[in-house]
Structure formats: structure tokens, C-alpha cells
Chain A
Amino acid sequence: MNGAATSTPSIRRRLLLFLLPPLTLLMLAGVFINYRTATIFVRAAYDQKLAEIARDFATQLQQADPKPLAAPAGILFSIKTPDGQNAAGNPRLPTVPVGSATLTYGDGTLDGRDLRLVTYRVPTAVITVAENDDSRPNPARFILAGNWLMDFIQLDVTLLIVWIGVHLGLKPLLTVRGQIEARSARELRPLDTASVPSEVRPLVDALNLLFELLSGAARAQSQFVADTAHQLRTPIAGLLGSLQVLMREPVAAPLQSRLASLHEGVSTLSHSANQLLALAQADRSTSLGDGFRKTDLKSAVERVVERNVDRSVECGLDLGAECSPASVEANSRLLDDLLGNLLDNSLKYTPSGGRVTVRSGYDTHHPYLEVEDDGPGIPEKERPRVLERFYRIPGSPAGGCGLGLAIVDEIARQHDARLSIDSGAEGRGTRIRVLFAARIH
């Protein structure tokens, strides 16, 4: 886990936090209970053995011809008469106080060592048998040797199962996350709710509602762009057409030049309106997933070059193409806009006699489009800025509105393509390449 992830709330961490400590405590309690139970059983078993030895002594005492009494190794004993006189064994061995039964168990000490005692009272004697606590096997060790290891393995396995369980339980969440991560920033289709667990469903539903609102907004914007297009373009078409007609009519020279500058102004207005609309259209097109299909880049180049042949002749430029077949998933109208804007810049800024070339093809399996000219070029320090909306290089000729490359950049971004601005051949002019991330296989 990285630093950012640890500082944010995590369901997995919470689950583990709530599950692991209680589980660990429970396991430790189990170990403790096992230890206690084993201690009791072990003690009972050894007590039983002491009692049997005491009974043996009693049996031997009652025999007509008693043999000298001897205890097994490690066992201490004392035999006293009912009135307290020592008969045999260790006289300093304490006696367990009288209980209700003839056989009583107790603990005592002798010479500073802990003893386990059994006192057996028969009518003729009080027999006490004792065993040093140290000589008994330690139940803790016994537990540690067997059960404790088992418990420990069990604990580990349980923790592992909890870990895996949490991981598997959270898997549907990861699926949802994957679905969201896989989409591009502008994709507004609702998420698939079929595989979403009921706990996460409200969240996904809320997201889908948001997507729906956003695509509604995108549709509204699209409608607005279409309406605006009509409202703007119709009067501009009227103005531009009328001016062009007027300029072809025989009029006095001073009027002719004023008409020409008026025409230039209206042309700029027309260009700006078109560019703004193109940008607005590019902005919302992919969010609605409009018209993305396999598109032939070569024919896009042919279309755009064809459209600009007359203009290049008027400008005295040698316009040409070097295209090899290439295709990519794209909106062909947006691609035409992209190429049209790149070509427009080259035709606008390359001086007469220059050469403009449009290219398409594959560069190490990636499709690309490219426009190169031998015009003035874009100074290196201006290159990052020319993509900004409305930015114009200081001192560039009138007639542009600073949106062309912003449109190109926007369309490239939506097609998952990278825009690179370089100098042309021999360091002269401009070469702008749009390299698509898609690969041919």
C-alpha cells in the first residue's frame, strides 16, 4: 500500500481492524482454556496415582506379616497412629486436615519445596503420601508441546482465511472500480449494474444518475450549439455573400478597397464563429460517443487536401500528400476538422512559393497524421502555449482567432492521440504530428 492509500479510509483495513483483534483474543482465550483444562486433568491423574499408593500402604499395614514399607522413587510418605504418633516414613511430612471423606487431597510445603499431599485415614493409621510438585511434568509444557502449536497454526490459518475472505468479499467493488477506471474521462454511459452487489448498488445508482444528468447537459449543449450555429451562420452567410457579390460589381476604386477590408472583417468573423462552433462540437461529441468508427486516414487526407487545392493555388503554395493507408477508430468529421485546422495554419502562414505536405501512415505500429510546411515555424518557447485557447503568437498576421490548434489538441485528446510540434525538414518550418495511441496488430 502506498502513502496516499494509507491516509484514506479503506474498507479492507476497517474490516481487518474489526475482525482481527477480536479473533486473536478469542484464539488466545481458547489457548488459555485448553491450558486450564489440561492442568486439571493432569493433576487429577497424578492425584489418582498418589491415592493408589496410599491405599497400597493401607493394605500392607493390615496384612498379618507386614513387610518394611517402601515408597516408589520421588514419593514421600508418613504413617501415623490415629493419635498422632509417628509409625513410619518422614515424621515432618504435614498431614492434610481431616475432611468429610477418608481420602483428602491438599497442598503443603516441606523444606521450602511445594508438595502435593494425599492423606488416607483408616481405623488403625493415618497415611500421608506426597509428591514433589517439581517432579510432576509441567502441564504448561505439555500444552506448549502439542495443543499450543495446533492452536497457533489454527490462528494463522484463520487469519489467512479472514484475509482472503475480505479480499474476495471486496472483489465486486474492485470490479466496479475497474469499470470506472476503464472509461475515458468523457464517457457518460451508465455503469453496468448487473454484477454490482446490493451494498454498492446505491452508490452505482447515484453515479449513473450523475452520468445521466451530465449526458443530458451534453445533449442540451449540443442542441444549443446547433441552434447557435444556425443563428450565427445564416446572417454571416448573408453578409459574406452580399459583400462578395458587391466586390464583383463595377464600383469606384475607393469603395472597392473599403469593401475589401469589410470583406476581410466579415471573413474573420465567419472563421471565428466556425472555430467556436467546431470547438463546442469537439467538446461534446465524444461524451455522447457520436460517430466513432473505423476511419481511413488516407481518405481523410485526400478529402482535406482536395478541399484546399484551390486555396493553395491562390496562395502560390505547392500542396501535396504523402499518404500510405492507415486506419483508426475515429469520428471522421472531427478528423477532417483536425486536419483542416492544421492545413489552414500552414496555408495561412507559409509564404508564397512554399511547400505544404500532408501525411498519413503508421509509425512503429501507431497510426499518425502529419502536416509539414516550410514556413516561418513556431519558436520552441511558444510551442507549449500555442495549444491554449485564443493564444496567438505575438506578431503573427491578422485573420486568425487563436483557436485552430486548441481545436486540434481537443480532437486529438478525444481520439487518444498525442500532438507533437517540431520543426520541419532541415530545421525549417513546422511539422505537427498527431500520433494515435491505438496500435495495429
Chain B
Amino acid sequence: MRILVVEDDFLVADAIRRGLCMSGFAVDCASDAEQAAAALAAEHFDLALLDIALPGADGLTFLRRLRSAGANLPVMILTARETLATKVQALDLGADDFLVKPFEQTELAARCRALIRRSNLKSSGQLTLGKLRIDITGRQLYNDGELVDLTGREWLIVECLGLNAGRIVTKERLQQAVASWDQAITPNAVEVHVSRVRAKLGDSVVLRAVRGLGYRLDEPR
């Protein structure tokens, strides 16, 4: 998976490039909007990381240009300005995520994976999470290439957690997702279904219970 990093600070760009390379991404760097536009025109990228304070046209201007030209690759804004107004503006312009500097390399890698995962889901109808492949359109789950046998309710739980991978899904939300299958279901029953799903997934992914809130499905780090 290929990522374009648009960042004028050499040290930051270099750290991002090296860090993401270690996490298994291919990374190209551009130091201003012009170079970035040229790179995007020439090659295919799965994700762009965009700094706001760039020399010449700033990151938000570049993003506006990109979206009005019809480009739909996911864009994550990296910025040192964390005001709410900037964030709202960036998301309005079509940014998919917003990360404030300085950040942890692991956090950046996890967010990149999540964005690419979501973008792949849109194009292929499939979600890849560690060794897990969730075929949303075909309603099938593959663990390390092998089809996993799931009941209807277990599938709904996997689907709901998978679509929200990396985020906490509250127990109430799972309850609603499962209840639509047939009749109402108790919170305890949700727990039972989740523990069955956990057993079937093994350690291919991390399914974590967050006390008092719900569950979070994530790929192992």
C-alpha cells in the first residue's frame, strides 16, 4: 500500500517515511502542493498525509483543489494547529482524518491502516483486519484464508465490530445490531455471542472488552 506524505519539514517527513516503511507501507514524500499534485498525477496512491502549513498553497487549499478535481483517495491532515475551527474546516473540505503533531508512530500507522481499510471496503466490499478478511457483500468471514462458520447473530457482531474496527462499539449498539435479526436480546446474551466470536477468531485479531462501554476489534500491533 502506497502513501504520499506532503510535508515541508524534512525531519518530520523523514521520520514519517521511515516509520511507515517499517510498518509495511511504501512511502513517497512531497514538500509542497505542486510536487504533491505532480506525484498524484503520475502514480496511484492509497492514502495522502497532508500538512496544513506548506510553503505556497497551503494544505487546505490543496485539499479543496484535490476534491473539486474529483480525487477520492483518503486524506489525513497532519497539523500542529489543533483548533476546533481548523479541524472542522478540514473535515468539511473532505479530509478523512485529523492528527495533531506530535504523534506516536504506532498511532499514525494504526490510523493509516484504518483509512486504507475503509477505502478498500468502499471499492471491494471487503475488510482486511490482520489475518482476518471480512467479505461484507458476500457475508463471509475468512480467518487466515479459511472460511469461518458463523451463526447469523455472530456474523452481525463481526460485521458491526469490523465496520467500526479500531473504535469502541457500545454494548447497546451491538444489541441493536443483533436484535434486528429477530426478536429482542438481553445484554448478557450479547456477551455470550461476543465470547463465541472471540473463540472463533483466535489471536488473528484483538477483540477487547472495555469495561462499562463495549468492545473494540483491532488488528494486532
Which residues of A does B touch, CB under 8 Å?
Answer: 226, 229-230, 232-242, 244-245, 248, 270, 281, 290-291, 302, 305-306, 309-310, 313, 318-323, 331-333, 357
Given A234-B101, A237-B102, A333-B84, are A323 and B167 neighbors across the interface (CB < 8 Å)? no
A321 contact set on B, CB distance < 8 A: 210-213
Partner of B80, one of A229, A239, A244, A323: A229
Question: How far, in whole Å, are A357 and B14 apart by their CA atoms in the complex?
Answer: 39
Check A238/B81 contact, CB under 8 A, given A233-B101, A302-B170, A320-B212.
no
B26 smallest CB distance to A (angstroms): 16
Q: How far is the CA of A238 from the CA of B12 in the complex (A)?
A: 4
Known: A229-B80, A233-B102, A305-B213. Contact between A238 and B11, CB under 8 A? yes
Q: Is B163 part of the binding interface, using a Cβ–Cβ cutoff of 8 Å?
A: no
Residues on B lying within 8 angstroms of A by beta carbon are: 9-12, 14-16, 18-19, 22, 53, 80-84, 100-105, 167-168, 170, 208, 210-213, 216, 221
Which of the listed residues B10, B102, B104, B212 has the most CB atoms from chain A within 10 Å of its own CB? B102
Task: Kindly identify which residue among A229, A235, A245 contacts B82, using a CB–CB cutoff of 8 Å.
Answer: A229
Residue from B11, B22, B100, B167 within 8 A of A239 (CB atoms):
B11
Tell me the bound Cα distance from A236 to B12 in angstroms. Answer: 9
Secondary structure of the B contact surface, majority rule? mixed
- Is B81 a contact of A302 with CB atoms below 8 Å? no
- With a CB–CB cut-off of 8 A, which chain A residues contact B104? 240, 244
Q: How far is the CA of A413 from the CA of B187 in the complex (A)?
A: 38
Check A234/B211 contact, CB under 8 A, given A229-B81, A290-B84: no
Report which of B84, B102, B212 forms a contact with A322, defined as CB distance below 8 A: B212
Bound CA span A333–B83, Å: 9
In the bound complex, what is the Cα–Cα distance between A145 and B195 (angstroms)?
A: 103
How long is the Cα–Cα vector from A357 to B53 in the complex, in angstroms? 38
The answer on a CB contact under 8 Å between A357 and B212 is yes
Determine the residue in chain B with the shortest Cβ distance to A313.
B208
CB distance from A340 to the nearest CB of B (A): 12
Residue of B nearest to A238 (CB): B11
- Between-chain CB contacts (< 8 Å), 13 pairs: A226-B83, A229-B80, A234-B12, A239-B11, A241-B103, A245-B105, A248-B22, A291-B84, A305-B213, A306-B168, A320-B211, A323-B212, A332-B84
A281 to B10, CA, bound (A): 28
A305 CA to B83 CA, complexed, in Å: 21
A291: B residues at CB distance < 8 A: 84
Considering the complex, give the chain A residue whose CB is closest to the CB of B88: A291
Q: Are B14 and A242 in contact (CB under 8 A)?
A: yes
In the complex, what distance in Å separates the CA atom of A239 from the CA atom of B212? 37
Contact A241 B212 (CB under 8 A): no
Interface centre among A234, A306, A320, A331 (most CB of B within 10 A): A234
Give the distance in Å from the alpha carbon of A254 to the alpha carbon of B56 in the complex. Answer: 44
Q: Once the chains bind, are B212 and A237 in contact (CB under 8 Å)?
A: no
| Most A-side CB within 10 Å, residue of B22, B101, B103, B105 | B101
A238 touches B18 (CB 8 A): no
The 8 residue pairs across chains A and B that have the minimum distance between CB atoms: A320-B211, A241-B15, A238-B11, A233-B80, A237-B101, A237-B102, A321-B212, A238-B12
Give the residues in chain A near B216, CB-CB below 8 Å. 306, 309
Residue of A nearest to B10 (CB): A238
Residues from chain A with a CB closer than 8 A to the CB of B101 are 233-234, 236-237
Min CB distance A19 to B, Å, is 56
**A321 CA to B212 CA, complexed, in Å:** 5
Is the pair B22, A242 in contact by a Cβ cutoff of 8 Å?
Answer: no
Select from chain A the residue with minimum beta-carbon distance to B100: A233
Q: How far is the CA of A236 from the CA of B14 in the complex (A)?
A: 13
Determine the distance from Cα of A45 to Cα of B170 in the docked complex, in whole angstroms: 106
- By a CB distance below 8 angstroms, the chain B residues around A313 are 208
Q: Measured between alpha carbons, how far is A322 from B171 in the docked complex, in Å?
A: 13
Bound Cα distance from A319 to B216, whole angstroms: 13
Residues from chain B with a CB closer than 8 A to the CB of A229 are 80-82
Checking A230, A302, A331, A332 against B213 with a beta-carbon cut-off of 8 angstroms, the contacting residue is A302
Bound complex: CA A226 to CA B81 (Å): 6
